[in-house]
Structure 1
């Protein structure tokens, strides 16, 4: 089965329109976005990680114990027919291939995709482990959770354009987990299939392990994100402005550029030490980096809406304090998770 899709100029135009609308809303209703933005991001993360959460929450089941319904099976892949991928020429039993034209915006060296070609080829396959063998029926292909092999070729014809090739494959002998719906076929044998709007989820054990650790770290940090959210909104909407303070150029430069630079510097210095000194310096570097990551969009929004500088300082200090508490209290837990 082969599907070829070309994404044209319309997607780029829609993205530009979306960015324009977001900028207009940010300039016109900046303060309203501050309490809404984390909630919107949280909902988006919850929606986009639905498959991953379901995958790691479902326990692996022996094949001989399967009953009708959603199950997760781990085993090695096998299929009689093989394909060859278009670019890397890998032998596999299923693959996705993506070719994208990449151009660069010279002002900030950001990437922009032009035309994109996507191909895929797949077939049904078997999963085998010590508890048996089961057939997996593929009506569509979703290899997004498998590792990708990528290569970027510089175009000689267009000095600023590159071509990027990306392939994901499923090969004979691969150890994977498949989350699917088990149902009996005409021979009264169970098969794994997909349901309407609920495709099969295919992942490697390594990906599952990293995802579990990431969710565990997020669980540790959630109370501090909530505390930060409450503190920021308190200073924006409820705390009285006691004094007028002139905008400090030193604070602006330090918050936007100094913190990420310090994060890199402390990270490099920490790698040269060991023991307690390494832990302390690495924590400071991590705090600087995370603070800059969290505060950058918030500060941009507040400066664009001409928020009182006194409030901006307090909001930034809240982000620093909550981030410091999160790292100081949970450093060992985070380190242990990875």
Structure 2
């Protein structure tokens, strides 16, 4: 039976950070998941051009979701969440515009209608999930199997990016009692440490990640990475595109954090096969060399400043924290495995090449 998944992502077009496109493609490529819906976790300051906003004008990422649904030949339900942080602990966001409450309502509806407890992946802020919990705590306590939380720092007082998007929501989520599988985006050295045992961070060039992937999937990434303003968003996926702009983009590096959570949530491992590093189902990786990864039980609490205080637990615990074998080779292995996953992705029900 497939794993019912709700994916909460700070996905925009043009991208604010294109790692969210790679995360969405990863979810779509993992056949273990039944993707119930995508909830767009946007922040007001990234929707508007400066000086009102952060830099340039963006839209919530409905376009990449629709494009990907077309490539897969399936429906992907999507809705928008609140664009401003929660105002206080227990905030249900009930005073927001109807379109911003749609994401909260979608999450509740999907949990309510699922025949089994769902997994929720959070690769941006905790706003949508926290507001939904504040609105219907009993439903979510009984209906969520695990929260794949990509946020926060495993040590030190660093103000990690996703926490900063909505600190109150992060605090409310940790205090909710929901089962958090915690994949910290930073540690005592910051958010860009490729070697740390608690670190999820790795990076690769676009060229390494997109090498020899199906043509239409490459077009999907190209539409995003070039910030295309073409209105014929589906025809754009049927056309090739090269040239110096695209070649320059392929040489750019992409910072990645959330991949480990999505792979582990699907029950896969990072294993060396005769063909190279791959994301392999756990029951098929027993005789392979694996990059050790685990989720360790912890006792955890959170301060009013949004700092998680945790200790390893020898008892069964509702919260777990990511751990992996140290070493910078992790990034090279993840790069090879993610590229292989994307190369094998099926579009329109069959491989394009």
TM-score range, shorter chain: under 0.3
Larger radius of gyration: 1
**Bigger fraction of residues in helix:** 1
**Normalising by structure 2, what TM-score?**
0.20
**Normalising by structure 1, what TM-score?**
0.21
